[in-house]
Amino acid sequence: MSERGAFALQPGDEVSESSSRGLRRGSTHMEFWLSDIQVANMGVKLGGGAVYFTLMAGLEPGRDARFSFAAGVGGHMTLSQRLWVDLDVTGGAVQPVRNPLEGDGGNVLGQARLMLGFQLMPRLAVFAGPTYNAWFSWGESDFDSITRLSVRETHPEPDQRLQHWPGIQVGLHI
């Protein structure tokens, strides 16, 4: 690798196979899924090789309408020509659609996601898998819970709440 680094290559620069990771050999994939937390989710995975960075957003309509945003890192492993596994961890927040970022409270949603994918076509796969979720809120919370599933709940302090639960997701990988 030159002094400028692998991301500042000039035309004609020689780069060894082992140092050409990142943006040069990277890929971008979109995902759309539903989960126990929100019915409409989308994400983008950016990366090269076995490691990726993900940005996600979701929306839950209805009485407790809310949206979420998150970022995370993960790993990808190809099991066969049509079968793959992704594992990632993400962190973000959940906000009400009405008056977001207002009020006397806050929250953080952390997720560990395991996805088993089946490649239907070269640019289309389906995936499903379990998640493990931890939602920490403090102050005046906008929601009693953010999942349709049962949760375990603790109160580290009187105005704090920690909920955690196993979840599920199903979606499309493009």
Share of the chain above pLDDT 70, in %: 86
Q: Give residue for tokens 């945003």.
A: 69
- 51 is a domain residue: yes
Q: What tokens does 112 get? A: 């560990």
109: CATH:
2.40.160
- 5 is a domain residue: no
Torsion of CA 77, 83, 89, 93, to 10 degrees: 150
CA–CA gap between residue 31 and residue 96 (Å, rounded): 23
- 34 is a domain residue: yes
Per the structure, the complete domain to which residue 48 belongs is given by 18-173
- 26 is a domain residue: yes
| Contact (Cβ atoms closer than 8 angstroms) between residue 164 and residue 149 | no
- 67-75's contacts with Cβ under 8 Å and 24+ in sequence apart are 67/38, 67/94, 67/95, 67/97, 67/100, 68/37, 68/38, 68/92, 68/93, 68/94, 68/95, 68/109, 69/93, 70/109, 70/111, 72/111, 74/45, 74/113, 75/50, 75/51
- Give pLDDT tens digits for 137-159: 999 888 899 999 999 999 999 99
pLDDT: which is higher, 143 or 25: 143
- 93 is a domain residue: yes
- 1 is a domain residue: no
- Give pLDDT tens digits for 35-88: 999 999 999 999 978 999 999 999 999 888 999 999 999 999 999 999 999 999
Number of domains in the chain: 1
**pLDDT reported for residue 24:** 54
| Contact (Cβ atoms closer than 8 angstroms) between residue 53 and residue 27 | no
- 128 is a domain residue: yes
Residue 172 has pLDDT above 70, yes or no: yes
Whole-prediction pTM? 0.81
Exposed e or buried b per residue across 25-54, where buried means at least 16 C-beta atoms within 10 angstroms of its C-beta: eeeebebebebbbbeebebebebeeeebeb
Ramachandran assignment for 88, one of left (phi > 0), alpha (psi -120 to 50 degrees), beta (any other): beta
CA–CA gap between residue 14 and residue 29 (Å, rounded): 28
Q: Give residue for tokens 């599933």.
A: 149
- 134 is a domain residue: yes
Cα–chain center distance at 146: 16
DSSP-derived 3-state class of residue 19:
helix
